[in-house]
Chains A and B, each alone.
Chain A
């Protein structure tokens, strides 16, 4: 599939202008969010991406015995072009919160996805929160997928917390466009430790065990954040992410994020991320999509978050992405959380 996506300059500028006008934000904690503070919480978020350059990748040279041959290996990135979500969380009593989320994603020209999630969060004790989720995906290419999971967060002390989730994802044989039947277990563990008055470290490990119709693999993702608070009311986060997949992908992605209080209700954050991989030109089953070897990318983002009142938080984000596949992309995001 040969695609050249053009820059939608006018739309982009309009979006940026709108974002600036609304003076934006970042949804900080998610998942086990502060659902227990307000009776109701409504979140709306919109995201739009455009590609300023997108070229067909060069053919890859293969060897069959001693005979070399070239084969086109298109890598078509499925960055969502448009995404919108609405989420509503309601407090049921003083210990339980129920939430529902709908998300629409325009993945690419011929693929749209509807996503519905139901979520129950319960305060199981003074410092323990439990979570249960059920998710449904409906893809316009004619298949559905399902996922369910449970998890818990334990604040052991003001200095230490741990968190764990386990989920199972399933789709049936009708999911031909993405490789057919697939069942995936995933486990996510996270721990945070305050080291000094101004320093914290957070570590995360994610394990996947995927068994599909044609492929099977296990993957491991490890991430560590070093987080430092400075006297200038600035938080600096250094992050290093390592990924390994038994089908033959290894990648690493260091990043640095600086978050600055403009005033106590306004936060400006800037982030730079670098990504590089080694891959055996792996395909996960989606026709025409591979993970190419030597992919390098850089992303820079800036986000402004503002709490207008106890009830209203707004945020906007711009991200520039550039990769060795000549994909250059602008992403704009605008969101708001209203509590009442």
Chain B
């Protein structure tokens, strides 16, 4: 391994290419890496991998990842990192790295390339399966790597098999129903400066496998004792690996506290690496087996029924001595040690199994929750399934009894600085469910998601709950149960999940065929679903209100034009088209003559208004329906649902033509004069072309369809033309329109104009809880025919008096626009006995009207239609605005202007 240099907190360090940053920092003598988040106590490396709760760092090189354990960062030249106190900071600049995703179908997916995973892969390869083997380490072998052992040739043959794909640095983050697995593969960080510039940093794998084998291994767990967070206290397996494999030579005297034989094996490794192991303190009454024999042979003193009670630290905060307690006599004594290696048993990684609801089972023999699952499609292997491989013989022991003062410094979750004292408080407050206690104490909610603290919590609760329930002894962890884990197993950068679907590629952008003209005219756009629609067209120096005022007056006094192409358009054909529309709309369409248009309202079966629009009868069996911009897709799905699942006897065909037909709305008293200059083959005069009629015509040889439809109350023409020809028609209108001072207007002006006429916008003035009657639109509801929703109007709660109804509001202040969404109360409302003031409605649309020269609004008000003339209050912060309830039509109540 070649030597590399990296920086940590702006100081340069040397390390070996590919080793964990934690190893190099330890080797340099850095025991304390950071201070804890809440208590500010010095903290050092505890573990070996993703379970690490303390040594969190922020990368300041490369992608500047905001929070990673130093135990999983592979050293590479040029790497730079900074210590963190548990709270990361997102980099200020966007992440420019590449991320991608891929899909894979495979016969067998094996998660974990330790011994168990490799053997499972071998078995499935022999059965002729194609196998995908994924593992989060930088190489195969799992536990063997920590022991510094090479793979046997038989295992190397498994990896070389032609039917096997092996992915290292690939972490399964979620197991979902039906063997669907999401994994993230880290592909470039470990290469540092030499990473190819175009390589995706992380690849997200979506894997679907006929069979899944879970062989994720286990984490060693700590013990609960006073001052168990001091730097120099490590999991024994981690300590032995750093010393024996990564040549960390900073410890002179070690104490091992254990509840199983793993502690003995690690003591022997420390001993052989030159650390003086002063003693193994084993909570069990006795122990045997090869591991124990090896420790005795090495001359390491062993004492049973003893464990660590407390530690003391030196002036730098690092461990310098350990206080041992005899568990039978409670006598204590102190021994000097700069390393306390702790072995509290193994916690198999149950996370993925619990993602799909499998409940781990407590095994006293293993002192662990296991998942022994074996079906045709999913099975567990290795430590998760209870195959611990050695002579461990662990006891169920989580730490000695602690007095209240000791409990304040006995840490359960190092990252959250949660102590046994906090846990006792939670139980004292009456909490007993581990899920509640997790939320109350925040144990297990930090970056590491409780990988080491979860089992300690369960262990401590056994004791506390047992006592709380009046028992003398503790409960079993089986009674407490495990926490359920949710994906992701380790933090996943949002950038990885987004992949290449970022910025312009994050969502489709829909533009009309006139979009470039709008851009050239300086339009300010608003997003309406995926559509970009011109909001208003400011002239130089104009504010929004200036532009909207000018646009509104042009439409009411001269002529103005809008691109209405985003309206949903559905072409409906077939011999039963008219019958079908009669059932869909609340009003009748079968009587509509050819060449005429009609406004229609549709309801869901519960009687609530769902969409509206104008539908034109183009022929006996041919209609063109328009929907709201946002309603295009839902309405088409709605029509199809009825045709396919209820009325297959109707011969009707629906086709979305939204993007086939552009719609140009020409609005204002001078619109007829302007358009007649352009259209010479039909007569646009009032007598020849009445309101709500539709005519085919040609402009410069281009077929167009013109309809007298008005969403503003003004004289107006909607020109429908094939999408690709609309720019030509639009330019021609502008060439001729110069003499008329033709003005382009956007959605804001459209809203003001329609609201002045009391025309609703679905989704703004409605929210799916209004019937046509609530909107004062009884005129559009047929009494003669059946339609979807009609039956519901007979339901008592829809017939009841006092429902919210759409009304107009005239604010007392004719300049200040009431915010949309504002609540309305009765005037001088008195708070009820709870101090709450009840609303009587809310404002749905609110604007300044240049035509009226004042503010106005639409609102849904309880029993509003019977409260005309009532003055109501609109509290805005500390202010109370007043407004008068009025009719919702503010301009041209007689409908004279549209002709």
**Chains A and B belong together in one complex:** no
